[in-house]
Structures are given as C-alpha cells and as structure tokens.
Structure 1
C-alpha cells in the first residue's frame, strides 16, 4: 500500500474526475441493488393466487416494522390496481419501472467509466513525463551499470502495468464495495436470518481466495525484470548490427535472446495461471454459498413460512449480485500484487536523489569573463583514482590541449568541467565561482561540446542543429554549416537542411557527421568549447576538413581540446601531457619538442616531426 500511496499523488490534479466517478458509482451501486428489489412486485403480479383478497390499509408503527408496512402497502397497491385496470396493465407498469432502473444503472456505470478514463490516462501520462524528466536529470553514473532496455521497460511496460493494476483499483474502490453494501442492506431487509447464515461462509471463501495471490508479486517482479533484459538485448542488437553480422555472431545473440524469452515464457505462465485461478475459484465458492443459501432459504419459505417466495427469488438475485463485485475485488487484489512489482521499479528511479542536483541557492551565470580554474582535483569512477591532485588554469581566449595515453584521465577532465560527474576532492571554478554553486543549466549554457562519437538524432539536419539553438533561423544554420565545412555536402542533398539523416545519422559518412556536430556547437555560439577527441575516428581527408572547421570554430573562444592525434593541437596556447591522472609535462608544441621528453616520444610514435 506504500507504493500505492506514492502513485496516488499523481491522481491529485484529476481529483474532480475522481469525485464525479464516485458520485456516479454511488448511483450505479444503488440502482444495481434496486434492480433486484424491483422484481418483487412483478413476481407478485405473475404468481398472485390470492385474487379477491381485500388488504386493509397498513398503519405505520415505526422503523422496526417498516418491512411489514412496505409489503402490505405493495400488496394493497397491486390488488387495487388489478381490480381497476387488470393484471396486464399492472405488469406493464412494473416492466417500465424495471427498464428505467436498469437504464439508470447502466447510464451511471458508463458515466463512472467515462470520468475515470481521464484520471487513469492523465496519471499514466504524468508518471511517464516525470519518469522521463527524472531519467534525463540523473547523472551518467546512474546508468553506467544499468541496461538501456531495462530503463525503457520501466517507462513503457511497467508504467502501463501500474495503470492496469493500481489505477483499476480506483474504479473498484468505490463501486464494488458500495454495490456489496447496498446489496447487503436489502438482503438484511428481506431476511435477517438468511443473511446471517450466508455470512458464516463468506469469510471462509475469502480466506481460500487470498491463499492463491500470496506469491504473485514475486512472479510478477521476475516477469518485468526479464522483459527489461530481452529489451536490452534487442537494443544492443540493433546498435551493434554491423559487428554481429561481421563476426557471424547472430547465433550467440540469438541464443541469449531465446534463453531470455524462454525464462519470460516460464515466469509468465506461472503468473498468469495463478491469476487465472482467481476467477473460477471465486465463482465456484460463490455458487457453493448460493447452494447453501437455496437450501436454508427453501426451509424458510416452505417450512418456517417467514419468507415469501417472490422475496426469496429476489434475495437469490441479490446474493448472486454480490459475486461479481467480490470477484472484481479478488482480481484487483492480485492486480495490486502485480502493480507493486511494477511500482517498485518505477519508484526506484523517481525516488532516486541525484547527487548532481542544483543547490537551492545555486547561481545563474550568464557570461564567462576571466578563466577556468581546476584546483587540486582528485576523482575516481569506482575504487581507483583516475585523477590525482590535478591542477590547471585555462585563461579566457586561450586554447589548452590535453594529451596522453589512453586511460591517462583526459576525457575525465571534460566530464568534470561539464559537471557530468562531481570531483571527489578539490574544486573546479569558473571566474572564481565553484561550478557546484552554479545551476547546471547555466554552466552548460556557457559550453559547447564536440565528442569523438558524433551523437546525432533521427531527424533532419536542421532539427539536429536546432538542439544547439532552438531559435536559430535558416540563415544562421547555413552560416554555422559553412563555418564547420559542412555546407559543401549539405547543399547537394535532395532537400538540403531538411534532409533526414537516419538513425544516429547513419545515412551520412563519419566525417560528415562530425562536421554536423561541430556546426551544432557553432550554432550554440558558447564562450567555452570542449572538444573530446573530435577527430580521432576520421580518415585523413575528413580530418583535414574537420580540423579546419575546428580552427574556424575556436577563433576568439576558450577551448579545452582532448586530442589523440597530435597533429590537431600543434597551434594550441598550452599543451598538457598527462600520465596516470597527473601532469608530467606542459608547454607549447615547440617547447615540449625541445624538452625531448614524453611528448616527443608521443610525436615520434605518430611519425610527426
């Protein structure tokens, strides 16, 4: 119920629909019970053998004798109306009353479902929206060990499961209990003895039904986890299709997927078979109760004489009327157990507190005026530090390059300056202000990022660039493309900047993708540019074009360049050579060549003079 309460907060904006649903359900439950009571007068007319009997006008003797008063009043009305208008006319009146009651019952049932639809779908939308916002607000570290498919499963199938299970309770929480309550009131009214007798058997039935649902949450959790697992395999397969085909590894991934779907098949069968057992079990137990009721009720009609036959038939209808809501409540109980597993997985993300969230008094920074100061920082992703007591000054307008072997901590600097991660020790300051004291939005507004992997989206070239500046005009987009040396191929495309570049930009070459990434950063026009091995994956011709684009872009900007190919950073104001998370050399290209140290070895290894 704790999970249910947390999910219920999403229903607050739609409480007006909830109130209207409750009002309609109250009327539905009332007319549902009345529909059986309305049969009594009709049965009296059909089976009336006491024609000619004159009924005296009943006297009201208080609430205790109300049943006798209403029965005598009904008998008097029927006998008088039959005498004056005939049996067929009275039967017609009774049928009109019954039709009216059933019409009102179904009208209020429809209205109740109509209003709850807005609540259910509204909650579904709001949970998905908040889950997506939370997902993109959490740090990269949160997802480093999680499968993408598992996160996708939580946003899609788990949220849908919450709607089908938890939110279906909102439909049942008023309607079904009220239907049972109104029905029981009329059952007590018709025969207290019979109702008390039936009540001995109802708790036994409820106990037997509850035994079935105890393990549902555990099985449901396994089903949802497995669903996340095979979605991850699909996502990895589509992302790495070239490698899978190139290494003839279809069998390996096919085997993994089949093993997962086999486990899903097994867990789903167990879960659904237990769930499917609920309805027939509750119906069978209900019929057992009805059978006992028929036996004891028959005694009251034939032997005791304390219950009229038409009342007993209406009573049987009322007793059966309890079975449908009772079955719905038992199914809802299983739904809660399934919903618990889904809600737990969704709330795990929603309740996660981001270690990178802005402080309440975080400042907005609109411009960059002085320098970036990295002061004695240390950082580790897991157990071992990848940066140790690292310090660096990057004055405004200068270009600083970080070089070194793989694993030396170069890309980590980019991750820390953009605050994708927080330092463990030390501080990073912009214009003397610790970046932890700035809002992440304003910090990243000051920065443009070009990574080794050109991350583009399945959109047009224009929409990909508008990520950099959503307000840019077509002229500004074309200008940015020209600076990035990308206009030369974009202008020849069938629909120019409106051309869709496919999933991850796979309709264009690697060099073209990288130039579009640079154009996107150019369009943003930030004062600080971070280039993380932006040319390492390119061929010589593409590198020449991209390097030219980078030089165009870095004019009059502060740049931190992480480079693998040393030919791309020879004109930097400062080159920092890193090794195992520390600075081992720094200076200009010429100064470092003159030192004949580690940088010279790196240059020689790349066959550069």
Structure 2
C-alpha cells in the first residue's frame, strides 16, 4: 500500500470534500439504522403488541438508556392511542418512517455529491502531474519505454486509482459504520442472536481476502498488456504507409490480436474473481440469516424471550448488514486493482530526472563569444558514441558536422541542447558549462530544425509561433518569407488559420520543413542547430529549403549536421567525423585539397 498512500497527497487540496463526505456518510449510517428501528413500534401497533405505559418515564442515566427509550416509546403510543386513536398513531409513525428514509437517501446523495469533487479533482491533478513529468523526463527515458504504455498509465491507470478513492472512503467510513450501528442496535434487541453475526464477519473477511490475494498481480499484468496494444495502435497509425506498401497488415493484426487476447484472458480472470465477491458474501449472509430465523423463531414462539415485532426489526437490521458487507468485499478488490495502478503511476512520477537546472543555475540571455566542446566522451548504454571529442564554434560562424551514419553527429546536437548530459568532459557557452545554466535560458539561446519536421495538429499560426506565442501576424509573415513558406501559406484555404492536420499531414515534406524553419526564424535565437534538415527532401524542395536555411543562418552561429554535402559547401568549417572522433576539419576547398575522407564522401555522393 506504500505507493497508494503516496497517491493520497493528491487528495489534500480536496480534504474539505473528504470531510463533508465522511460527515454525510456518518449521518447516512445513523439514519439507515433508524429506518429499521422505526419499523418495530409500527409493527407492535399493528399487532396490538405495545406494552401499556401511562406514566411518563424518567431518564436516570446511560446505563438505563435502552429501557428508557423503550418505555418512552410505549408511553407515547399508549397516550396517543387513548387520546387520538390508533389510526392517528399509525399515520404519525408512517410520517416518521418516510422522513427517516428521506433523510437517509438525502445524506447518501450528499456524500456521493462531495465524493465526486474529490474523485474528479484527484483525477485531474494526477493526469496533470503525469503530463508534467512526461514532458520533463529526458529523451533517454522514452528510448526504453513504449509510448502506448505511457498513454495507458495516464488514462486507464489514473482512472483505476481515481475509482479506488471512493472505495477507500466507503471502506473506512460508510459501510463499516452502517454495520457497527446495526450490530449495536441488534445487540440491544438480543445479545444471543448477535453472536452469530460476530462469527459471520471474520469468516467472510478471511474467505474474501483469500480469493482476492492474487488480484493485484493480475491487474498489474493486465494494465501492462493494455499499454502493449496501445503501443501497437500508435505504431500502426504512425507507419500506416509502410504497413500497406509491404502488405504487412496480417503481421500487425496478429501482433495486435495476440496482445488483446492476453488482455482478454487476464481481464476475465480479474473480473470473475471480482464478481465472485458479491454472491459469495451474499450467500454467506443468507446462510447466517437462515440460522437467525431458526434460532430467533425459537426465541419468539417457544422461549417467549423475544417479541415478534422486535424479531422482525432485528431481521431487517441483520439483512441490512449484507449490503455494506458486499460493498466492503468489492471495495477491497478495487483497492487491490487501484494499488497495482498506483505502482505503475509512481514508477513514472518518482522517476529521477537527471536533466534539471541546478538551484544556483545561471540565467543567460546573450551569446557573446563561442561554443566550446572539450574532451567529450559519451555513450548510449554500452555503446561509446563520442571519444575525446573537442571543437570550438566561434560566434557568427557556421560549422558543419559530416560523416557516415553512427559517427556521432546527431549526438552533438542532443548534447548541445541538453537532451542528454555529457558523461566526461564539458560543453561551454561563453565559458559557462551548459550544466550550470538554467535549462530554459540555455534552450532559449538555441533554435532547432530536425530531419523530421515535427508539427502539431493545429493552425499554421500556432505552429510557427510555438517559440514566441506573442508574435504579431507581421512577424509571423516575415518569418514565413525568410523560410520560403509565405507563398504556399497564403494559398491555403484559411491562410495562417488553416489547420495542417495530425503531424502536418495535409502538407508536403518540403512545406512541413519550411514551416519548421519559419518557427526557428521567428524565435530568432543566436545559435541555430540544423540536424540533417534537408536529407528527406526531393531536389526542388531541397533547393527552396536550402535557400531558406541560408537566409536564416546569415549573421548567426550555426551548427549544421549534414548528410547531403552539397548543402554545407559554404560553411566556415567542416568537421569530418568517424566512429565518434574528428578525422578532418577545414573549409570545403581545404578538405578537397587534403584528398582524404571528406573528398571520398563528396565523390561518392557525386557518383550517386
């Protein structure tokens, strides 16, 4: 229950609703018991079984409370019958019973009313906390996790925990109090009969706990499996063109069906165990009630130690215990399922984020001198990607990184932006280690254009102004012109307010990339990082995008990771990388003259 207790901190802002829920649950339990107690005098009046009392009883203390209440009730019935008639007495009692049942149901509604605010408030705050954590965690976390699993945790697991909150409130307040109050009154009516109830409760609890023992484990497996098939859905939607072109529908369908079948089998086992709780507790309750009927009937008909009206009221109270007992058994299952979900939520919420700003981090808003990469060593898990890598990028210069795939070029971009942290060595901006700068200010100095144009299901305006939400239309249009995107944007149905679809799928590859460039231009950072920004484009789109990039890089410090060498011939310095090391560096002409690795790469691409 440790993780589940940690989740309870999300309920603290809503503690007033919890207190009100508890208050009305207590009142519900009181009036629930009174509703059956009120039947006893009414039945006595109907069967003319009321003891005649003509003298008003006197209260002498708590020890005689039971006798006092009984005598006072008999006195009221006797006097009312004598003065106003039996029909008036019955009408009064009917009115009292209706009022008690009305209040009982009103308090039940109010308890649920305030629990709704508590549950939905916790649901919202849990989701918000999960989302905040999801966008804070470094990219390395998602290289090990399936996206679908994270989505499942934010949706179904959060729902599971939220539903368990009400179960907890019922488990600790409403249902136990209903049972306790009923047992107290039952003991006042007949102590002998009540002993059977005390035998029933622990035996029932023991059997139900045995049945629910493996529920948490199975729930955790079912929720993991749900994350699996959500991941398959996410992958399928993202790669639908590839799946169709390779006629791989059958392969992915089988993969999905296998996952949903595993989830189906686990869900059946979980629900069957849950469903067993209610009939089992009801059967055990009816068994005890049957014994009570036999023994209670003996006390009424043979021993004459219990009145018929009291016995009927007693049986009503005994049967009333069944409903909360069933609810408690169901709630215990809900808590086990909720606990499994809480474990999965806390795994994300308590995940340590190594990429954070220090408490005394420096706020830096200008770039004045250079970027210095000093003796870096970096590896993803066991694979060493960069080895003793050093490089200086002076302000205002364009430095291009080239090399074969896997040489470590994109890793440099990830380390500059602190998507990952260096393991050995340092990256400095104007002499300040990037780990000593505030993350927000570090990334505020940089613009990023990646190979994959990452756009969002929103308007052109909102996509371009992502880094500068307060930008005016004139500023957005100027950025679009620099990025060679203005002409196609004004041709869209609603111009800047055109929705570009999921991941910008209503646009071509070149159009998407030019919007990404416009977004970086509008942000206007002093340092620009271009990670193979033209490698996925056709020749015409590449020409337009390359022109946009050259417009953008004027008077700006740029680090360009290039696959197509034709795009970086004007760079101030070209750094040739191989297996995480620098093997050559210089201008395009210097490297061609050197007749080394760079010239071979140029010749290969020229031949292609």
Quick check: TM above 0.5?
yes
Distance 2:66 2:169 in 1: 35
1:106 corresponds to which residue?
105
1:489 corresponds to which residue?
488
- State the Cα distance separating 1:307 from its structure 2 match: 2.1
Distance 1:532 1:276 in 2: 56
The 8 Å contact of residues 113 and 171 in structure 1, kept in 2 or not, is answered as no
Distance 2:383 2:71 in 1: 91
Secondary structure in 2 aligned to 1:128?
helix
1:345 corresponds to which residue?
344
1:397 corresponds to which residue?
396
1:529 corresponds to which residue?
528
The aligned length equals 608
Secondary structure in 2 aligned to 1:606?
helix
Distance 2:49 2:436 in 1: 91
Q: For residues 97-124 of structure 1, what are the alpha-carbon distances to aligned partners after superposition, in whole Å with 9 as ceiling and x for unaligned? A: 0011111111111111111101100000
Task: Compute the TM-score of the two structures, normalised by the length of structure 1.
Answer: 0.98
- State the Cα distance separating 1:571 from its structure 2 match: 0.9
Secondary structure in 1 aligned to 2:468?
coil
- Indicate the RMSD between aligned Cα atoms, in angstroms: 1.5
Distance 1:598 1:309, change over 3 A: same
Which is further off, 185-194 or 565-574?
185-194
The 8 Å contact of residues 53 and 71 in structure 2, kept in 1 or not, is answered as no
Secondary structure in 1 aligned to 2:606?
coil
The 8 Å contact of residues 450 and 531 in structure 1, kept in 2 or not, is answered as yes
Distance 1:470 1:229 in 2: 36
- State the Cα distance separating 1:49 from its structure 2 match: 4.8
2:5 corresponds to which residue?
5
Q: For residues 286-345 of structure 1, what are the alpha-carbon distances to aligned partners after superposition, in whole Å with 9 as ceiling and x for unaligned? A: 111111222222232233333222111111111111111111111010011111111111
The 8 Å contact of residues 22 and 112 in structure 1, kept in 2 or not, is answered as yes
1:25 matches 2:25: yes
| Unaligned ranges ≥5, structure 2 | none
Pairing 1:448-597 to 2, within 5 Å after superposition: 448-597=447-596
The 8 Å contact of residues 198 and 293 in structure 1, kept in 2 or not, is answered as no
Distance 1:343 1:564, change over 3 A: same
The 8 Å contact of residues 402 and 409 in structure 2, kept in 1 or not, is answered as yes
The 8 Å contact of residues 116 and 171 in structure 1, kept in 2 or not, is answered as no
1:173 matches 2:148: no
1:161 corresponds to which residue?
160
Q: For residues 410-453 of structure 1, what are the alpha-carbon distances to aligned partners after superposition, in whole Å with 9 as ceiling and x for unaligned? A: 00000000000011100111111111111211110110000000
Q: For residues 61-112 of structure 1, what are the alpha-carbon distances to aligned partners after superposition, in whole Å with 9 as ceiling and x for unaligned? A: 5433332232222222212211111111100000000011111111111111
Distance 1:368 1:411 in 2: 22
| Unaligned ranges ≥5, structure 1 | none
Pairing 1:320-469 to 2, within 5 Å after superposition: 320-469=319-468
Distance 2:64 2:508 in 1: 91
Q: For residues 249-295 of structure 1, what are the alpha-carbon distances to aligned partners after superposition, in whole Å with 9 as ceiling and x for unaligned? A: 11111111111111111111111111100100000001111112222
Task: Compute the TM-score of the two structures, normalised by the length of structure 2.
Answer: 0.98
The 8 Å contact of residues 226 and 263 in structure 1, kept in 2 or not, is answered as yes
Secondary structure in 1 aligned to 2:223?
helix
- State the Cα distance separating 1:365 from its structure 2 match: 1.4
1:41 matches 2:52: no
Distance 1:61 1:417 in 2: 85
Pairing 1:142-291 to 2, within 5 Å after superposition: 142-291=141-290
Distance 2:77 2:437 in 1: 84
Pairing 1:300-315 to 2, within 5 Å after superposition: 300-315=299-314
